[in-house]
Amino acid sequence: MARASHFLFFIFLILASSPFSFAADAVEIGFDGKPNKKGVPAKWELKEKAGDADFEVTKDGPDIALHVKSKDASFSFQSEIRINANEYPYATWTWKAVALPPHGDIRKSSRNDQALQVMIAFKDKKILSYVWDSNAPEGTVSEESVPWPISLKIKVIAVKSGAGDLGKWVTITRNIREDFKKLFKEDPPAIEGVRVQTNTQHTESFAEGYFKKIVFSKKPI
């Protein structure tokens, strides 16, 4: 994932009324919106950085999932949303890796490919990025900030590692308020966007996986 590519993430972050409905205790962002002519679900925008995006919206039991395949490619889906991270400090999502880029590793820029990645963008150009990495151990933190004039501050956390749960649905819950405070040394500002991504262009390999809805909540779910 080339650092300059993160600049595209913020082009769409023009503050507006949130297109998502807020429940009392949680905000859900799913892939069940009516797709456009390219198959991209409503409220999401496809960004292709390298290669061709291979994806489909599919059903898994009662749930809708985004199925992605990446061959020497890098692409993402992003959506703007305004959430108070202090009021909704927990982020939960379910994903499934089917194939990992064998040599992917967030610790090495030349091999910085991941099958699955969830990014949360905050005001003031700060990003938390959560990845299922092929080789970096769980808990590894990587710095991927982009200097002036783009001036993005990006912290990457490996929340899953390796092929041990390949082919299984895995649910991740993170206290994003605490992650932000730990990594940026300050309280989090408002959340302005989310992004799901897959990358294999650096290692010229293949990855496949699925994302289900992302939920921001007041309590762990």
In the prediction, which pLDDT does 2 show? 45
pLDDT of 108 > 80? The answer is: yes
Q: Return contacts of 61-65, CB within 8 angstroms, 24+ apart.
A: 63/212, 63/213, 64/30, 64/31, 64/32, 64/212, 64/213, 65/31, 65/96, 65/210, 65/211, 65/212
* Alpha-helical regions (H) of the chain: 6-11, 176-184
Q: Where are the domains of the chain?
A: 63-217
How far is it, in rounded angstroms, from Cα 151 to Cα 172?
Answer: 29
Average pLDDT over residues 27-39: 94
CB 63 within 8 A of CB 212: yes
In the prediction, which pLDDT does 164 show? 95
In the prediction, which pLDDT does 23 show? 52
Average pLDDT over residues 124-142: 97
Q: What is the mean pLDDT of the chain?
A: 89
Average pLDDT over residues 62-70: 95
Q: What single-letter amino acid sits at 8?
A: L
* pLDDT band at residue 138 using 50, 70 and 90 as cut-offs: very high
Structural domain 63-217, CATH architecture: Sandwich (2.60)
